[in-house]
Amino acid sequence: MKITRGLSWPLVLAILVLYGYVVSAMGQDPVLKKAGVQANEENVVTLGLESKLAGREMPYRVILPPRYKLNPRERFPVIYLLHGLYGHYDNWTDKTGIAGYSASYKFIIVTPEGGDGWYTDSVSTPNDKYESYIVKELIPEIDKRFRTIPDRGHRAIAGLSMGGYGALKFGLKYPELFTLVGSFSGAVAGTQYTEKSSGAIAKSIDSVYGPLGSDTRKDNDIFRIVRELGPEKQKGLPFIYLDCGTEDFLFQSNRDFLFLLTEKKIQHQYRELPGVHDWRYWDQQVQEFLRVADRSFNGDLHSKKL
Give me the CATH number covering residue 40.
3.40.50.1820
What's the pLDDT score for residue 24? 41
Predicted confidence (pLDDT) at residue 6 exceeds the cutoff of 60: no
In a domain, 63, yes or no: yes
Position 178 confidence tier, pLDDT thresholds 50, 70, 90? very high
In a domain, 150, yes or no: yes
Per-residue pLDDT averaged across 174-197, rounded? 89
Predicted confidence (pLDDT) at residue 4 exceeds the cutoff of 50: no
What's the pLDDT score for residue 299? 87
Rounded mean pLDDT of the chain? 87
Which of 189, 82, 205, 180 minimizes the C-alpha distance to 134? 82
pLDDT tens profile 196-219:
654 556 667 888 999 888 999 999
What's the pLDDT score for residue 50? 97
- Domain limits for position 252: 9-297
Of 18-32, 107-121, 223-237, 286-300, minimum mean pLDDT range: 18-32
Predicted confidence (pLDDT) at residue 304 exceeds the cutoff of 50: no
Q: How many CA atoms lie within 13 A of 157 on its CB side?
A: 27
In a domain, 4, yes or no: no
Position 111 confidence tier, pLDDT thresholds 50, 70, 90? very high
Position 181 confidence tier, pLDDT thresholds 50, 70, 90? very high
- Residue 21 Cα distances to 194, 200, 302, angstroms: 20, 11, 39
- Number of structural domains (the chain) is 1
Predicted confidence (pLDDT) at residue 283 exceeds the cutoff of 60: yes
Report pTM.
0.86
Task: Give the integer Cα–Cα distance in Å for 171 and 156.
Answer: 9
In a domain, 306, yes or no: no
The residues facing 148 across adjacent strands are: 76
In a domain, 303, yes or no: no
Which of 257, 277, 276 minimizes the C-alpha distance to 268? 257
Per-residue pLDDT averaged across 90-106, rounded? 97
Q: How many CB atoms lie within 10 A of CB 288?
A: 16
Q: Rg of the chain's alpha carbons, rounded to an integer?
A: 18
In a domain, 238, yes or no: yes
Predicted confidence (pLDDT) at residue 107 exceeds the cutoff of 60: yes
What's the pLDDT score for residue 121? 96
Q: How many CB atoms lie within 10 A of CB 128?
A: 22
Give the sheet arrangement for strand 44-51, strand by strand: 44-51, 56-63, 108-112, 78-82, 155-160, 180-184, 239-245, 268-273
Q: Report which of residues 31 and 182 the model is more confident about.
A: 182
Position 30 confidence tier, pLDDT thresholds 50, 70, 90? very low
SS3 content of the chain, % helix, strand, coil (to 5): 40, 20, 40
Of 51-65, 154-168, 187-201, minimum mean pLDDT range: 187-201
Per-residue pLDDT averaged across 207-232, rounded? 93
3-state secondary structure of 158: strand
In a domain, 269, yes or no: yes
Percent with pLDDT over 90 in the chain: 74
In a domain, 302, yes or no: no
